[in-house]
Structure 1
Amino acid sequence: MAPSKQWMTLVDNRLDETYLVGVQKFLDYVFQKTGEEYEIRCPCVKYCNTTLGTREIVETHLIVYGIIQNYTFWYHHGERLGEPLSEFEHEDEGEDENGDAVEECESEDEVEELLRDSYPNQDGGTTNTDCDDLLEEEPNVEEKIFYNLLKDFKLALYKNSKASKLSTLIKLFHIKSMGRWSNTSFTMLLKLLKEELLPDEANLPNSYYEAKKIIRELGLSYDKIDACTNDCMLYWKEDSLLDSCKVCGASRWKLHTHSGETRNKIGKKIALKSLRYFPLKPRLQRLFMSTKASTLMTWHKDKRVDDGIMRHPADSMAWKSFDELHPSFAAEPRNVRLGLASDGFQPFRNSKSSHSIWHVVLLPYNLPPWLCMKQENFILSMLLPGPTGP
């Protein structure tokens, strides 16, 4: 758990006892988290994390010059995104017996906040009332999704349980993602919990597939766009109904092994190759729906220190030249600046395999420099299939 950062607000009164104690707690935390023995980056106003210094030097600089006011996420000093923060200077809860910060999953309040951020237009006063009784007219599609999620959020995992069905599934999916579990192992865990560890009335789904159906509305989906097997074209827009490539003439569909037909047993056609496209608009909307992320999307304008030192893309000549060419765009700090990166990679462990895949990633440069290059904030835009479309 990161120490309280209230002392940083006393930068104009740096001889105050609270500020001095805060500096010591900050240094203790940094040397513990980073594992450094001698030198760390100095976050003082003069050096702004650009030079290294010993504990004594950094302590002196923080007292003489003060700490950077907008450096509230200690990215260069070991703090992790989502790490809990002490509210008071003396609070030390949340650490294990070795003093290491313990990473926690979302609390019930955070799950409700996630639900509200995902559906900001829905009535915020229904969490303590039966939703069905409040509906005077037939809800639209988005409202139905919201009320179904809200119902799962209010439904206890089992009688007298403090955890809800929805929050439990979110935490389990979080652990699955962090631990890189397979779908099969996740199903095995659900069955173990439901059949042997939890009471008989536990409201857990039976499989990964059923669990995913419950929480998938919290996430953002993608679109499949069929592609020519020789990478000539996409079957998109006016070409979406074609059965063969208009460039090379190759068939769009897989042929059934035995019958030689393009339809399988259930009468469905399967494309030889498909591109996964992750629509950008809803992902940008989600950034501004989040109460935490929305305030950071104007950091480049509101909190960036413009002192001639390059610490962020907004300090570059390219950014400034763009602002001069497009003044109306630059006038609104909420307009999103994106960087684009693309590269091929081998998606399978067996590196001898000829399969490959390309991905296109967007980076939101509106965020502070310690966040815009974090993997959690990358926006996956497209997955381009390789030679045999893995």
Structure 2
Amino acid sequence: MDHNHQDPSTGLLTKEFAEGLGQFMAFASNQETTLQMGKMYCPCPICQNRRFGTVRGVWKHLYSRGFMAGYKVWYSHGETDLMVNFGSISQQNNLDEVGEQQGGVDEHIGNVQMVEDRFRVEEPKFEAQIFFDMLDAAKTPLYDGCRDGISPMSSATRMMSIKTDYNLSEDCVDAIADFVKDILPEDNLSPATYYEIHVSGLGLPYQMIDVCIDNCMIYWRRDVVRTSCRFCGKPRFQETRGKSKIPYKIMWYLPITDRLKRLYQSKHTAEAMRWHGEHESNREISHPSDAKAWKHFQSMYPSFAFERRNVYLGLSSDGFNLFGRHRRQYSLWPVIVTPYNLPPSLCMKREFLFLTILVPGPEHPKRSLDVFLQPLIYELKMLWDYGVEVYDIASKENFMMRAVLMWTINDFPAYGMLSG
């Protein structure tokens, strides 16, 4: 069916192609995923089984464009080699029924409609549009005539880096920002205060969560209003003379959902996030997706595996002494999550090792590590059960992205501290 699908003399579908198209749609429309969602992958030469479309939309694409080259076995639509060798009984049984449901192939689709359908794309939702607007703002020059690459965002990023590296106070940053703005040409866009610098950042959320001094619990969700520990009864805040409350211990949590979204909002990574489902392994394990464990998971959860843009995650954690070889003992435990959708050349790069939790010291968390993992576990459960809407810049469409934690990577002492 990947040969010429239209008669050059009449412009209509050839009889062979029309029959094959009907058989394909009869078979694909009756697969469990299509019946549940009302959508299927489109195997036309442009979509190439990378984009979801409604059943009627796939009819139109295949009618006007034909099938992608080499698509003999309908792997993305429920067919297997066994079905090809011995024939699919469901094809003939359901052909007439589906033909009646679809009303047959529409032979009056005009050229204008075909062109409009070919170039139709979805617009990013509000949240994604904010990110794209931010990227556009990063190209705005700091002032007329400044050097290329100098923008309000780059200035804010550099200032935040200096503040962190030298542990500057907010008042000090305010003074420096105000001084820099004054000496630059008029009408410059340089941030004048620490607040403006903070707002000009990348917009990734973070949470500072209070922790019991003995690591019994975190003051989070239903416990956020408590002033003492539910288990040991020790107070949450230190005794101070001022009005501001200072907790004994704080953990940092950096949600992963927004960072996973941005992997699909960047042209540099959107297509690479589908690599795990599109590469050929040649019977060699060069990536976790080539292993039996990965394939077994996909066989157990076919609806998750069906959407190649769903995310497969790995988690790693270990502790280290913040002060190196100095005598002072301080145990800090970062928790890192990485997406394994990416090819081997990318998935182990620093940019894709997402720091999600910083377990504070100075004491070793020991078996309390699971207490600090609660926000991450909650977020992972939400991504598995419900997913989140994401804009894919490669296919110019919105889709529901889900995620799964495939495994954890630890040494044996840390392994004994994790309950999962």
User: What is the CA distance between 1:270 and its match in structure 2?
Assistant: 1.8
The residue type paired with residue 214 of structure 2 is N
State the match for 1:306 in structure 2.
281
CA separation of 1:151 and 1:210: change in aligned 2, threshold 3 A: farther
State the match for 2:190 in structure 1.
204
Extract unaligned runs of 5+ from structure 1.
1-118, 123-140, 260-264
Tell me if the contact between 1:361 and 1:378 (Cα under 8 Å) persists in the aligned partners: yes
Q: Pick from 305, 313, 316 the counterpart of residue 341 of structure 1.
A: 316
**Is 2:258 the partner of 1:274?**
no
Cα distance in structure 2, aligned partners of 1:230 and 1:180: 28
Tell me if the contact between 1:120 and 1:289 (Cα under 8 Å) persists in the aligned partners: no
Q: Report which of the two has the higher share of strand.
A: 2
Q: Pick from 216, 238, 256 the counterpart of residue 254 of structure 1.
A: 238
Tell me if the contact between 1:273 and 1:388 (Cα under 8 Å) persists in the aligned partners: no
- 1:230-260 alpha-carbon deviations (Å, 9 max, x no partner): 001111222221111111111111111xx4x
Tell me if the contact between 1:169 and 1:211 (Cα under 8 Å) persists in the aligned partners: no
State the match for 1:166 in structure 2.
152
State the match for 1:372 in structure 2.
347
Q: Which has the larger radius of gyration?
A: 2
User: What is the CA distance between 1:224 and its match in structure 2?
Assistant: 1.6
Cα distance in structure 1, aligned partners of 2:156 and 2:228: 42
Cα distance in structure 2, aligned partners of 1:370 and 1:150: 25
**Is 2:224 the partner of 1:235?**
no
CA separation of 1:151 and 1:234: change in aligned 2, threshold 3 A: same
Higher relative contact order (CA 8 A, sep 6+): 2
CA separation of 1:352 and 1:283: change in aligned 2, threshold 3 A: same
State the match for 2:76 in structure 1.
none
> Over the residues paired in the alignment, what is the CA RMSD in angstroms?
3.7
Tell me if the contact between 2:156 and 2:191 (Cα under 8 Å) persists in the aligned partners: no
- 1:335-364 alpha-carbon deviations (Å, 9 max, x no partner): 100000001122335632222211111110
CA separation of 1:329 and 1:380: change in aligned 2, threshold 3 A: same
The residue type paired with residue 321 of structure 1 is H
**Is 2:208 the partner of 1:224?**
yes
- Pairing of 1:22-41 with structure 2 (within 5 A): none
Cα distance in structure 2, aligned partners of 1:213 and 1:232: 33
Tell me if the contact between 1:228 and 1:273 (Cα under 8 Å) persists in the aligned partners: yes
State the match for 1:27 in structure 2.
none
Cα distance in structure 2, aligned partners of 1:252 and 1:242: 8
The residue type paired with residue 287 of structure 2 is H
Percent sequence identity over aligned pairs: 36
CA separation of 1:330 and 1:343: change in aligned 2, threshold 3 A: same
Tell me if the contact between 2:138 and 2:154 (Cα under 8 Å) persists in the aligned partners: no
State the match for 1:213 in structure 2.
198
State the match for 1:287 in structure 2.
263
The residue type paired with residue 359 of structure 1 is P
Tell me if the contact between 1:223 and 1:277 (Cα under 8 Å) persists in the aligned partners: yes
- 1:273-315 alpha-carbon deviations (Å, 9 max, x no partner): 122111122222122222221111110011x222111110111
Extract unaligned runs of 5+ from structure 2.
1-122, 365-420
State the match for 2:369 in structure 1.
none
Residue 291 of structure 1 aligns to a residue whose secondary structure is coil
